[in-house]
Amino acid sequence: MTLRSTIQDLRACADVANDEHRVKVRTGQFAELSARLAPALEELPALNIALSEVAQLDVDLPDGREQDAAQVADGLRALAAELPTLGIDQNLDLAKERVRSAEKYTNQLRAFVAGTWQTYVSQPPPAINGDLIDALAQGGVDVEAIRDELETARGHLLAITSRLIPDRGAVQKYRDAIESIHRCGEQIGKVVDADIAEGIVESQEPSGVPLTWFTPERLEKLRALGILDRFQVRLR
């Protein structure tokens, strides 16, 4: 083997080693970009749905936000398909910038929809006196249907408001749950008026209610409820 052939062989080996190194570097770059793309690709569809939900609320959306969301999602899918086809010598600066831009947009969109949603669902629901419902039930008033509807509505409300961002239909589900709770309050008012309800609650306290509370009008209302015979007079 001549010196020249030896040098040529060494150069060939060096070129192969260099090519292998470049392939490894480029493979690592592809893997990094793909790993950074994956979370945004997975999250953006849910964020787009959340954006369409909060758009139904009385809030100002940034101009073009809905259109931007769709474009970013399409661009990310195109970039994910394009990465494996890039040549080993092709510059990745543009691809890296597109990934950074998508990450920034996704973070901003998440913050916007989550903040808007949490502000909306943090408003207190209609106040319903659970103790009153229990007292009415103990007093013999049939309120089980109201209690069941109230517990169901509160369960739905808890499930909806516990989400960081709304899923599809969440705004309407939230409004339906609030309306159901409000309706329960109205139904309680129809079953028994506030004056009679107060007397029923007080009658279950150790001190009870004074006999003078039982006016003819109140006695008639208790009789209409079918619970008059549940009251007893205690001498002290």
Answer yes or no: is pLDDT of 21 > 70. Answer: no
Q: Quote the pLDDT of residue 170.
A: 96
The confidence score (pLDDT) of residue 6 equals 45
- Count of all residues that appear for the chain in the document: 236
Among the listed residues 142, 147, 144, the one whose alpha carbon sits nearest the alpha carbon of residue 227? 142
Torsion sign across C-alpha atoms 122, 124, 128, 134: positive
pLDDT on residue 66: 56
Instruction: Between 114 and 40, name the one with better pLDDT.
Output: 114
Q: In the structure, what pLDDT confidence band is assigned to residue 39 with cuts at 50, 70 and 90?
A: confident
Give me the pLDDT at residue 7, please. 39
CA gap 230, 87 in Å, rounded: 88
Can you read off the two tokens belonging to residue 110?
A: 């998440």
Look over the chain and give the mean of its residue pLDDT values, rounded to a whole number: 78
- Which of 20-29, 118-127, 160-169, 221-230 shows the lowest per-residue confidence on average (mean pLDDT)? 20-29
CA distance 25 to 16: 14
- Contacts of residue 226, defined as CB under 8 A and 6 or more positions apart, other chains included, come to 140
Q: Which residue has the tokens 């939900």?
A: 53
* Interatomic CA distance for residues 158 and 174, integer angstroms: 9
pLDDT tens, residue by residue, 160-180: 999 999 999 999 999 999 999
Instruction: State the Cα–Cα distance between residues 236 and 11, nearest whole angstrom.
Output: 114
Burial class (CB in 10 A: 0-12, 13-18, 19+), 222: buried
As a whole number of angstroms, the distance between CA 165 and CA 148 comes to: 28
pLDDT of residue 97: 82
- Beta strand spans in the chain (E): none
At 42-61, the pLDDT tens digits run 888 888 899 989 989 888 77
pTM: 0.69
Rounded CA-CA distance 158/128 in Å is 15
Type of residue found at 39: P
Lowest mean pLDDT among 11-15, 79-83, 129-133, 157-161: 11-15
